[in-house]
Structure 1
Amino acid sequence: MSIWEAVIYAIFGGIAEMLPISFSGHAVLLHDALHLPSLQQGGGFFVRASICVGVCLAIYLSFPSDVRRFSGELRYMTGLKKRKRGDVIDRVMRRSVVLCSIAFILSLISLFFLAGAERIERLLLVIVFFVLNAGFLYLCCRGQTGNKDERGFTLIDAILIGLGRMLSVFPGMSALGTSMGIGRARGLALHYNLRIAFMLTFAQQIVLFFYYLIRGIAFGSFAGALILPCLLTILVSAVFGYLAIQYFRYLLQRGKLRVFVYYCIEIAAVAAVLALINS
């Protein structure tokens, strides 16, 4: 994979992973329209793993305190870190981390069929998944914002969010959009819904990094010529991912998420045109 091809994937990866518009769906369209190398073979695995690193950096730079709080509490709970004598246990925070961990574990079931899902290249299916994603995003836009925070977050909420993210690995579906849509439908407060969605995405990207790295070692091919493209991919995806998060926050605060509903419908129309051209 050349540098410019990796950079194109990095730009779309940083933006589409941090906005609820599905990077996997865009990757299929880029592969079909621009004839870019697939991310599911050869050096593509390592470029995809590099995008995961860049996305994690973007989330950490955007939510540094949340990442530290969640990861710190998780280390306490698993015994990797000992509390100092006299430290007060934040039971509300601990409960929130436990429920988010349940949602995360459920979402990991998708690893069993992720490889098959990402090999889907039929544009008709991609169109269907983009339309489904638009439906979840529509849930984010309708009705009044809820007021459930750490204290009101329930086990049912966590299970539904985890199952939604598990089923959102198909090209055209967005785990972020599904998570936000289900959270909105379950009455989660705006900012808490946002925090949960990005913390789950952060954890998921870490797992996906190792997933693609292992697949790259097992089935791909790594050469010295990939070092620079991968480093640039990390940098570019981190920059564009960070900018995408700030844009997402801006739209969220102003209640303008409907723009992503329209976008997913429009990109589905683009996929339909490509399908007609290729037929």
Structure 2
Amino acid sequence: MHLKIWEAIIYGIFGGIAELLPISFSGHAVLLRNAFHMSSLTDGGGYFVRAAICIGVSLAIYLSFPMETKRMLRMFGRRRVRPSQRPNRLQRRSFMLGCIAFFITLFSLFFLAAAERIERLLYVIVFFAVNAGILYLCCRGRVGKKDEKTVTLGDMVLIGIMRMLSVFPGMSALGSSVAIGRARGISLQYNVRIAYMLTLAYQAVVFVFYLIRGFAFGSFSTGIILPCLFALIFSAVFGYFAIQYFRYLLQRVKLKVFVFYCLEVAALAAILALINA
């Protein structure tokens, strides 16, 4: 069963916003399915729409962080660029530590499919509450000063572990990354850059993951092309503005707005569960 165009647009909007803010796209997808009986992203053509959202999210990150993205890509092909463009020692160190966090995050692929099939609103309520708790506990106090020179292996390992555990509906890998970085004393700008570069790399991997599942368990036809295109465009546009909004809030240290938002969504999910009971 293929998603309708209006469903793809709604998923694209929420995908762009919730993937790039610390508020969990998978959790919102469960709420949308329960509230409006929308088609699933984990069946049939839904896998391809989900893959299209990955492209849109990646495009939004690239447009928001073009220099950082190009630098990360040059790390993989540093032998094929001019010497003047090659990264310096600190950049290579930062890249290697980021790779460690990224590879730890990839362990989430072993249980990602099972996590995304969680449909019970009770679990979603719990995970949204946990996400709110992580943001609240880790985002208190002063902003740290750690940067490429002083960030440690332990910092990146903790970030990787938290991102790995944040694939359940209601939890946000981006939120966990920023929150742990803040708690470990990483500076604001470097923390944001790490979080979004790890998100970009992970989106590239799960894009392939969803394509494989789409061809293996779904069915591809020309009818899914248009919904995928709309999902890609809307996720890219809304994702770009979501990043700008997040940067604006971070400059003013107002992350608690996401704590309240997650608690409100958890309360809304509880009401929805009572209605559907």
Q: What's the TM-score bracket when you normalise by the shorter of the two chains?
A: over 0.9
Aligned partners of 1:216 and 1:85: how far apart in 2?
42
- Which residue identity is paired with 1:240? F
Residue 256 of structure 1, aligned match among 232, 251, 254: 254
Which residue does the alignment assign to 2:183? 185
Aligned partners of 1:252 and 1:101: how far apart in 2?
25
- Which residue identity is paired with 1:45? Y
Which residue does the alignment assign to 1:14? 16
Q: Secondary structure at the match of 1:41?
A: coil
Which residue does the alignment assign to 1:105? 103
| CA offsets 1:53-104 (integer angstroms, 9 cap, x no match) | 000000000000000111212322xxxx335457765000000000000000
Q: Give the TM-score taking structure 2 as reference length.
A: 0.97
Which residue does the alignment assign to 2:195? 197
By how many angstroms is 1:153 displaced? 1.0
Which residue does the alignment assign to 1:229? 227
1:1-279, aligned counterparts within 5 Å? 1-76=3-78, 81-84=79-82, 90-279=88-277
Aligned partners of 2:121 and 2:127: how far apart in 1?
10
- Which residue identity is paired with 1:214? I
Name the Cα RMSD after superposition: 1.2
Identity %: 65
Contact 1:13 1:23 in 2 (8 A): yes
- Which residue identity is paired with 1:29? L
Contact 2:71 2:87 in 1 (8 A): no
Distance 1:86 1:250, change over 3 A: closer
Contact 1:39 1:47 in 2 (8 A): yes
Q: Give the TM-score taking structure 1 as reference length.
A: 0.96
Structure 2: gaps (5+ residues): none
Distance 1:3 1:112, change over 3 A: same
| CA offsets 1:172-194 (integer angstroms, 9 cap, x no match) | 00000000010011000011000
Distance 1:174 1:146, change over 3 A: same
Distance 1:86 1:52, change over 3 A: closer
| CA offsets 1:194-226 (integer angstroms, 9 cap, x no match) | 000000000000001000000000001112111
Aligned partners of 2:6 and 2:191: how far apart in 1?
36
Aligned residues, how many?
Answer: 275
Structure 1: gaps (5+ residues): none
| CA offsets 1:119-178 (integer angstroms, 9 cap, x no match) | 111111101100110012113531000000000111101110000000000000000000
Contact 1:103 1:158 in 2 (8 A): yes
Q: Secondary structure at the match of 1:113?
A: helix
Aligned partners of 2:200 and 2:76: how far apart in 1?
14
- Which residue identity is paired with 1:7? I
- Which residue identity is paired with 1:230? C
Contact 1:140 1:257 in 2 (8 A): no
Aligned partners of 2:259 and 2:82: how far apart in 1?
48
Contact 1:139 1:182 in 2 (8 A): no
Contact 1:74 1:97 in 2 (8 A): no
Contact 1:99 1:155 in 2 (8 A): yes
